[in-house]
Structure 1
Amino acid sequence: MFLIDTNRLQAQRRLDVCPIALAVAAVLALLLVTMVGAKAQPVLDGFLRASKSCPATPAIRSDDNPGGVVLTPGRTYRLLAENKADGSHYLLVTPGASPEKRWVEKTCGERVAFEAAPDASPKGRPEMAASPSASPASGDRRRRGSRVIVAMNWQPAFCEISNRAECRSQTSERFDASHFALHGLWPQPRGREFCGVSSALRSADENGDWLDLPAPVVSPTTRRDLERAMPGTRSGLDRHEWLRHGTCYGTDAEEYFRDSLWVLDAVNASGVRTLFTTSVGRTLTRDAVRAAFDRSFGAGTGERVRLTCRRDGDRTLISEITLGLSGDIRVGADLAALIRAAPEARGGCSEGIVDAVGRQ
């Protein structure tokens, strides 16, 4: 007969359990540290307008400064966080640096609500320093490698189920009856919106009171071109698009809309528009639209196109196409290369009718 030493057995079991308990404790400790760290870096909106040439470093407790990055007095930098509530340092974006996210002392400048030129802000109100339509400081541009989506409506289909001002006034002679109309240019990733916009303005935008929003500041030429190519200006679409998306583009309103119109004009001057105008009343497939992009802008560009369709009774109408771009987007750049550099897009609807102007 074998005798079992129960004391030894229990001790062995305790030893077996010990590594497991230690592992669980380590995981819990890591989670606790992560939670504390998250609380220690409150997320911020707005910008820092630099007043001093402060070093911008990847870590607060290290003087290591790859690239020797320093703030430029008078320039504004997008804020991301601070090291803790009422802390000593801001985390901000330094465009072109590697890494771009850097820490600076809070005394290096003043926090402002919008990106603006130094002389554009009212004195004594740094938190409401400028209109979001103001020009950014000299040298502030979108980041190289930016990704955007340009949305272009086929307005006759949009107006089949909309009673907006631009639809009530649409005629067969108007530009958008036979051309793609500008919806907007949307910086990516999705959700990158309302950069530095006050809660009051954002609330007004989300309530749909677009004509009550401030008009974006653009030149008379751009205003004229917008009113032609973006019929939604009649209901304040330009104001909405600027506040929601343009404020995250990294330029002033003039450049944001000029870049948008440049892409729209290129598509309208291509075989893609010809395909639509010669297919009015008929069904177009997604493959046919993508093939038209490949013929117009080069192989592979069609894979960056997505179709959006709307139901109108028993009909499915193509109401919008979206086009992805990635790179240093500006008027005169190689558009085909910018399109090919963007990620491939999910195709959206597989086919739809190209609608004619007027209620069908």
Structure 2
Amino acid sequence: MFRFSFGPAAIASALLFAPAPTWAAEKLEGYFIAEQECEAYQSKNRFTNPGGITTSIRRAYDMIAINKPGGDYFQIRIDGAPVTNARWVHTSCGVHVVAAETETAPVPPGSNPVQPSPGAESTENLMTLSWQPSFCEIRPNKDECEALNAGNLVHATRQLSVHGLWPQPNGNFYCGVPNSIKQIDKPETWGDLPEVDLSDDLRNALNVAMPGTQSHLDRHEWIKHGTCYRGEGGAEEYYADTLLITDAVNSSTVGRFLQDHIGQTVTADDIRSRFDEALGVGAGEAVQVKCTSDQGRVLIGELWVHLKGTISPTADLGDLMRAASPVSKGCPQGFLDLAGLQ
């Protein structure tokens, strides 16, 4: 969770010299087709909604405007709405149709920063950590797997790698993401998704912790899951918090246990016990082991770590795990795979 602090002089200076906003609503013709049930606001800035009006799925509404060119809110007409029938809905709620079977052109992929819809920061999350050698047994043609199996990603053969941080409950996906972007969120077109804007230091750290960045996994995870995390710092905070959890696990006795047992069969009970040892009794009950099959072998594929509470640099991982509801241990045992195709 980011916290920003500015002195009185800085605030006064900013207010004095800040230019007045120049964005103006752009008039649109045609109709808005709702694909979701969404709130229709009188004020999109204050989120006021007299009458609690929502859109109806697959219903067409007269289109009035978009809040700015390439903006994130459509203004539509909802007959019978109290106070005003001109209401604002998020662009992720549906599509703008000018005439039958004609949809407004999508923003070119790779150049459109996605703006998550408003909401509180997620406090129920699932951290999914991958054992990369097992993943690469199944998908050896991935760029990151070719590098790993060639011996070029040694670190990823000895520690857990980032798959993703997933706000819960399951199904909490694509918050504020336009349909034009969702439609290309497929592994073969992840490279066409908007690039995730991160600081250089965080980008470098993520590239190490998440080998899948070579296949643009970071873009997919941000679009599908990160937009629903809703931290104040956007993608920067989402991935910074992801690395906080990943580093805490890898640097603990859990990480050392995995390193010491590469090429051996380990049990879910052993793994959960190491979490208890590292983070306090009860932490292991928040861990579920996921296995994958490879030519008759059962491989440890991922560890799913359930968390409840706000993730921050001052948060205790053990507390976050113990606050989560206990889960089943999952796969009872599996082989901790070596690098290279077996």
Scaled by the length of structure 2, the TM-score of the pair is: 0.70
Rounded to whole Å, the distance in 1 between the matches of 2:83 and 2:228 is 22
Q: How many residues align?
A: 272
3-state SS of paired residue (1:215): coil
3-state SS of paired residue (1:272): helix
**Is structure 2 residue 226 aligned with structure 1 residue 246?**
yes
Displacement of 1:166 in angstroms is: 0.3
Rounded to whole Å, the distance in 2 between the matches of 1:132 and 1:290 is 42
Unaligned residue ranges in structure 1 (runs of 5+): 1-40, 61-77, 90-102, 115-124
Rounded to whole Å, the distance in 2 between the matches of 1:266 and 1:341 is 17
Matched letter for residue 86 of structure 1: I
Matched letter for residue 335 of structure 1: L
Percentage of matched positions with identical amino acids: 36
**More RCO (CA 8 Å, sep 6+):** 2
Rounded to whole Å, the distance in 1 between the matches of 2:84 and 2:225 is 29
Structure 2 equivalent of residue 164 of structure 1? 142
Q: Deviations over 1:66-92 (max 9, x none)?
A: xxxxxxxxxxxx99xxxx993566xxx
Q: Is the 8 A contact 1:54 1:104 kept in 2?
A: no
Rounded to whole Å, the distance in 2 between the matches of 1:183 and 1:110 is 32
RMSD: 3.5
3-state SS of paired residue (2:301): strand
3-state SS of paired residue (1:160): helix
Structure 1 equivalent of residue 211 of structure 2? 231
1:16-165 aligned at under 5 Å gives the runs 43-44=36-37, 50=43, 86=78, 111-113=90-92, 133=113, 142-143=120-121, 146-162=123-139, 163-165=141-143
Which structure: greater helix fraction?
1
Residues 351 and 47 of structure 1: is their aligned pair in 2 closer, same or farther, counting only changes over 3 Å?
Answer: farther
Q: Is the 8 A contact 2:128 2:304 kept in 1?
A: yes
| Matching residue within 329, 335, 341 for 1:353 | 335
3-state SS of paired residue (2:329): coil
Rounded to whole Å, the distance in 2 between the matches of 1:340 and 1:104 is 47
Unaligned residue ranges in structure 2 (runs of 5+): 1-33, 54-71, 94-103
Residues 337 and 88 of structure 1: is their aligned pair in 2 closer, same or farther, counting only changes over 3 Å?
Answer: farther
Structure 1 equivalent of residue 11 of structure 2? none
Structure 1 equivalent of residue 320 of structure 2? 338
Rounded to whole Å, the distance in 2 between the matches of 1:207 and 1:247 is 18
Rounded to whole Å, the distance in 1 between the matches of 2:168 and 2:236 is 20
Rounded to whole Å, the distance in 2 between the matches of 1:220 and 1:267 is 23
Residues 197 and 141 of structure 1: is their aligned pair in 2 closer, same or farther, counting only changes over 3 Å?
Answer: closer
Rounded to whole Å, the distance in 1 between the matches of 2:84 and 2:236 is 33
Structure 2 equivalent of residue 14 of structure 1? none
Matched letter for residue 158 of structure 1: F
| Matching residue within 145, 159, 167 for 1:187 | 167
